[in-house]
Structure 1
Amino acid sequence: MLDFTQNIPDQDLPGSNAPDLSAQTPPPAVDDHALLDAYSNAVIDVTERVGPAVVRVETRASADTRGRGGIGSGIVISPDGLVLTNSHVVGSAKQIRLSDSEVMSTEARVLGVDPDTDLALLRADGARDLHFASLGNSKNLRRGQLVVAIGNPLGFESTVTAGVVSALGRSIRSVSGRTIEDVIQTDAALNPGNSGGPLVSSAAEVIGINTAIISGAQGICFAVASNTAQFVLSEIIRHGHVRRAYIGVSGQTVPVPRRHAVLAGITNKMGALLMNLESGEAASRAGLLSGDVVVRLDGIDVNGVDDLIRILDRDRIGRKIEIEVLRLGRSRVFEIQPAQRKTAAVK
């Protein structure tokens, strides 16, 4: 066999002009211990700063101390005893007791609940100068960001779990049937009893209120965003409840036939079918009928019942707006004036 490389100078060999990689300094090795220490120190710092502001929320259904109650978590957000938790933790409880990881134990009263976002605001009676945590801006969150959950899962007090922000902008169904928008998904482990506790960023800011887990799933948990909590908090402090517009209808999401959409000049693939209308309320007064399909409200496309509910916010209370519906396949526009939705008074 002939060797064709015997008389070829080295400098003429293919690739001979490439740099000598063997002479280069290899990159420094990653110090895994340093990375783990940094992660641990971040979690420890958050726990030490926010942990004292996390409280155990214990409820009783009646004045009878033997009455069945529940246990959840809450976060103190002001030194004079304002506490955020979940509305499903509070429920219809007549007695609420708060306790922290130190010595504080006090009765609390409900200032307001908002089942539509699964949030409630409590006031700790007779407690002042409490440890408290600040609400952060949940709009600054990024997927993959480190988060820490603190609470009382299954009654085990002051439990800390860590994870990341798995997704942003999720929507989940509240106990009232309304969708909660802009929900944070995390893989920080949550269990019954974590409800109402804080989801905290590495800057020790509360960026969510833990609200739900999916039974049987691994690492899929949800928290109401802190910006939503801030809105609910301000509404309850000012009005005792969250104001939302109401037109007096019930409905369901249905597809819009393409031929109807083309005829009406709309792009909706789905709409909100009106099933029942309450006599004397805004929808019936405006001339809407059962069987109408809402496709636009106040200039915003409606692609289902969830869109209709979301658009009916406090800014549209008492204001005349246009609602477009499909009736027998043809577009009809009505003027409607939403009222403020009635809420049950807190007793």
Structure 2
Amino acid sequence: MNPATSSVPTASVADAVDRVAASVAALRTRRMGTSAAFAWRPGVLVTSAAAVGHASRVQLVLPGGEAVAGTVRGIDPGTDLAVVTLDGDGPALVERRLDPPARTGDFVFAVGRDAAGVVHASFGHVGASGGAWRSWRGGQLDRLVRLDGGLYPGLMGAPVADAQGQVLGLASAALSRHHGVVVPGPTIDRIVDVLLAHGRVQRGHLGIAAQPVALSPAMRAAADTAAESGLLVAGVGEDGPAARGGLLVGDVLVAVGGRPVPTLDALRDLLGADQIGSRLRVVLLRGGARTELALEVGEQHWEPRC
């Protein structure tokens, strides 16, 4: 986050940091060194999936200085969320900000804790705010809240709060190349439910890399479609659903499952968990001629592909 100037009195900010810090634990992994985790529900902490990696157990330093072990109950790279549970009592729960949503320019801060238990914080502003959006990893976030800078070391998975100490969500450096992103509270609630129940969030995929391409009048006529754009297949994953179904680099997807696919998001919308294992009819152009294939939808595992 960028250094910030604010009209909020320094003492008030310090008090807000103290309140948030009471919910924050240091998380130690071999993958990322020390990151942050915070109490979202009794005995349930949330942190960054990128910080946890494939670990099944992590070490935590609680606000009182106690070092405890935590069990990783599940990770979701799509929203960069991981859930860790404790056998005993955990930190105090964060106070959540429920309303109104954060606006561009709002003062915010993130709170972490180092391996020795020392609290540290970073201060900045909301750099962009908007409606629901999808991360490059395919995860659906209920709201876009982007910070005005990146995250300092140790703040992966940290709570991001407003001037009153009410937490907007979780700080992620994995969902944007240059800026920190706040995974909002409603998204955390939704993903925590799934991870506690199943350990992962299922998303369908075809195993391709693709980019939008305009369809010329001749291409539209050949494909018998009114769509103005489709998806040019730029890569096909080895032994993935698309490769097994006969899709080739250079094919242009026009429709999947009877619906046009003018953008990657439109394709991802068609590949929900309920479609995994089903076969979808794909209409495409190959060498300028219309072709149809039946592709079985697979389950996505980590790869940032559709």
TM-score (norm 2): 0.75
Q: What are the superposed Cα offsets for residues 8-61 of structure 1, whole Å, 9 maximum, x if unpaired?
A: xxxxxxxxxxxxxxxxxxxxxxxxxxx93x554653453233221011111147
| Structure 2 unmatched ranges of 5 or more | 1-5
Q: Which moved more, 1:307-316 or 1:115-124?
A: 307-316
Native 8 Å contact 1:60 1:94 kept in 2: no
> In the alignment, does 2:181 pair up with 1:226?
no
Between the aligned partners of 2:88 and 2:75, the Cα distance in structure 1 is 21
Compare relative contact order (CA 8 Å, sep 6+) and give the higher one, 1 or 2.
2
The match for 1:56 is: 26
Secondary structure in structure 1 of the residue aligned to 2:41: coil
Does the CA contact (< 8 Å) of 2:105 and 2:125 recur in 1? Answer: yes
CA distance in 2, matches of 1:86, 1:47: 20
Q: Considering fraction of residues, name the structure with more helix.
A: 1
Residues in 1 aligned to 2:153 and 2:231: alpha-carbon distance in whole angstroms: 36
Q: 3-state DSSP class of the match of 2:168?
A: strand
Q: 1:289 to 1:221 in 2, by over 3 A?
A: closer
Residue 130 (structure 1) shift: 2.9
Cα gap change, 1:261 to 1:149, in 2 (>3 Å): farther
Query: Compared with structure 1, are the counterparts of its residues 106 and 73 closer, same or farther at alpha carbon in structure 2 (3 Å cutoff)?
Result: same
* Aligned counterparts of 1:229 and 1:281: Cα–Cα separation in 2: 30
- 1:76 is aligned to 2:39: yes
Answer whether contact 2:126 2:147 (CA < 8 A) is retained: yes
Q: Which residue of 2 aligns with 1:206?
A: 167
> Which has the higher Rg, Structure 1 or Structure 2?
1
Matches within 5 A, 1:142-291: 142-152=103-113, 157-169=118-130, 173-174=136-137, 178=138, 182-187=143-148, 190-202=151-163, 204-212=165-173, 220-247=179-206, 249-263=207-221, 264-273=224-233, 275-276=235-236, 281=241, 284-285=244-245, 288=247, 290-291=249-250
Task: State the aligned residue count.
Answer: 293
CA distance in 1, matches of 2:164, 2:283: 46
8 Å CA contact 1:274–1:293 kept in 2: the answer is: no
TM-score (norm 1): 0.68
> How many Å separate the matches in 1 of 2:108 and 2:212?
38
- Structure 2 CA distance for aligned equivalents of residues 172 and 102 of structure 1: 35
Moved more, 201-210 or 232-241: 201-210
Tell me the C-alpha RMSD between the 2 structures. 3.9
SS at match of 1:184: strand
> Residue type matched to 2:59 in 1?
R
Distance 1:195 1:289, change over 3 A: same
Matched letter for residue 64 of structure 2: E
